[in-house]
Chain A
């Protein structure tokens, strides 16, 4: 009865049965929190609290607390915004694009990656919101709502407004996609539980019964949501890149930005998924579900997207020279050899050279090397945004307004706040939600495991 492909390695190792899948994954939701989880939560909450001081300072005093000045009007805040949005691209890419490509290995990681996406997008949204200075007014002005000035509407010709729509659509559609996938698993936990947990997960599972008709509709919804989310995920970072590309700042005014930003987003997103999953699989003992095969496949995605990013850097540089525009040429020379040379070369080392190490099978199948490189990649991607934003701005058209940008403690604090927020959310998710999609694992188990029942 059992079908095992002779060519491919099983996706799930350890000869898991359906029952084992339920037990292994539901165990973490049902058990007492472990010591390592509690320590992790305490650290995250501490970082969150310390960072929130900087956030409160900004809301109280205004954005004069930041290192921005007359020439450099976007710096840490927008760097962090683009960085977090980029990280938020992996989840939907894994769950939507890989679903359309019928990549079954996605089932082990899609749940956690989507959760990561949602938290990362929230972190990202904080920055433009507080950059408005008075977010309680700005958040309303950013929407096309009738107002007492006419109504004077928002400007639909502006990429900044497109961003409002892109990010909020991306966030809400990802959230719905994620939640639909969670419903059957909440039902599994509900049916194993009694008392208060039964009530809570009963409500979360929306009265799911697992009937064949419901599953049929569920499959149909998943497929169409994937179809909708695929162009959506590509559109989001495209529109983020329009924020720069449609301006007339040398170094920003490039048509290569949309594909270059999307590749960079997938690159950093996969790196973040790897950093998180390597820790999660170890702490939760999920090595049979997130196998070396999964890690290797993700590393291959990193080589591909990292190489695209590398080619984009070189193309940008070439076009700056080839265009013959002096300001454009200077912007790129200044990036490499100007006062921010260290940021440029950190970016080049982390993003272009380090992922190429994954060509060696020894390195891409090593947990330690993957973990280190995944963090290196995200450092590099942060520098990429910093380089693009700050080095293009700080030497203005008028040399009299040339300045340097130095972050203040408040800038750093708000960045810390988003880290605290991200990890607190992720830890709460990992404890109270099933970190792996049990139903989807069971659906691929028969074709990808050694056995399914005792």
Chain B
């Protein structure tokens, strides 16, 4: 009967109890689907064994792209396409190009990184998130365990592990 349900949920009230619980549940050989929190819990990603985000790399590459675009654009326009003598100086007035280069670097880095973040986290205005428990955006942390992924583990063991590690409630949830 209960095998029809997809997920077992452990509800936690406190971030430190949650972090311990994640460690204990994983040590018991249970795979965690995801933990949902109302706010960022520092250190939780390490307990869950997530790899460090590569968004900083994306930001750097986008920044490099911005710098290249800005310098190419300014040298092309001011030096090659229509050279003009301004203040008797060189057409390619490199120091004068720095402010715009800086601004475009920041602009492309910021927008590129945020774009990657939106895509990788599947954030879009028409996105319909799977909500396991409405309280997970309010005051509770929700640990979701996918039953299908833990076929080898007995349901009672999963529930017991959640209870013992400090969950205030243990529920189940299914999505049609």
- A residues whose Cβ falls under 8 Å from a Cβ of B: 1, 17-19, 22, 144, 150-157, 159, 161-162, 165-166, 169, 172-173, 176-177, 180, 183-184, 187-188, 190-192, 202-204, 206-221, 224-225, 228-229, 231-232, 235, 239, 242, 438-440, 442-443, 446, 452-453
B118 contacts chain A at the CB level, 8 A cutoff = yes
Residue numbers in A under 8 Å from B13 (CB-CB) = 453
Which of B81, B121, B129 has a CB less than 8 Å from the CB of A153? B81
CB <8 Å contact, A235 and B121: no
Q: Which residues on B sit within 8 Å (CB–CB) of A202?
A: 128
Chain A neighbourhood of B45, CB < 8 A: 212-213, 215-216
| Residue numbers in A under 8 Å from B126 (CB-CB) | 203, 207
B56 within 8 Å of A by Cβ?
Answer: yes
Check if A173 sits within 8 Å of B106, measured CB to CB: yes
Contact among B40, B59, B99 with A166 in the assembled complex (CB-CB below 8 Å): B99
B46 to chain A, nearest CB (A): 10
Indicate which residue in A162, A215, A219 contacts B100 across the interface (CB closer than 8 Å): A162
Contacts of B134 in A (CB 8 A): 191-192
CB pair A210–B82 under 8 Å, yes or no, is: no
Select one of B74, B125, B137 contacting A206, CB under 8 A: B125
- A442-B36 in contact given A156-B96, A176-B111, A217-B53 (Cβ < 8 Å): no
Query: Does B55 contact A224, Cβ atoms closer than 8 Å?
Result: yes
C-alpha spacing A68/B63, complex, angstroms: 42
CA distance A252 to B124 in the complex (A): 48
The secondary structure that dominates the A interface is helix
How many B residues touch A, CB cutoff 8 Å? 64
B103 at the binding interface (Cβ < 8 Å):
yes
Shortest 3 CB-CB contacts between residues of A and residues of B: A207-B127, A18-B139, A209-B129
CA distance A211 to B142 in the complex (A): 9
Q: Which of B113-149 contact A (CB under 8 A)?
A: 113-114, 117-118, 120-131, 134, 136-139
Across the interface, do A443 and B40 meet the contact criterion of CB distance under 8 Å? yes
Contact partner, B39, options A172, A224, A442, Cβ 8 Å: A442
Within 8 Å by CB of A207, from B16, B104, B128, lies: B128
Is the CB of B77 closer than 8 A to any CB of chain A? yes
Q: Out of B36, B39, B82, name the residue touching A209 (CB < 8 Å).
A: B36
Residue numbers in A under 8 Å from B99 (CB-CB):
159, 162, 165-166, 235, 239, 242
Q: Which residue of A lies closest to B102 (CB)?
A: A235
CA distance A206 to B117 in the complex (A): 12
Name the B residues within 8 Å of A184 (CB-CB).
38-39, 137
Q: Can you report 9 residue pairs joining A to B where beta carbons are below 8 Å apart?
A: A166-B103, A192-B138, A206-B118, A207-B122, A210-B137, A216-B53, A220-B53, A242-B99, A442-B139
Residues of chain B with a CB closer than 8 A to A176's CB:
110-111, 114
Contacts of A235 in B (CB 8 A): 99, 102-103
Let me know if B113 and A221 touch, CB within 8 A.
Answer: yes
User: How far apart sit A208 and B53, CA to CA, in the bound complex (Å)?
Assistant: 18
B39 with A439: CB separation less than 8 A:
yes
Q: Tell whether A218 pairs with B111 under 8 Å between CB atoms, given A224-B55, A232-B106, A446-B15.
A: no
Interface residues of B in 72-123 (CB under 8 A from A): 73-74, 77-78, 81-82, 84, 86-87, 89, 93, 96-97, 99-100, 102-104, 106-107, 109-111, 113-114, 117-118, 120-123
Q: Are B125 and A209 in contact (CB under 8 A)?
A: no
Q: Quick check: A220 and B122 within 8 Å, CB to CB? A: no
B6 part of interface (Cβ distance < 8 Å):
no
Could you say which of A165, A213, A220 contacts B56, with CB atoms under 8 Å apart?
A: A220
The answer to whether B138 and A180 touch across the interface, beta carbons within 8 angstroms, is no
Contact between B38 and A18, CB atoms less than 8 A apart: yes
List B contacts of A18 (CB < 8 A).
38, 138-139
B16: which A residues are within 8 A, CB to CB? 1
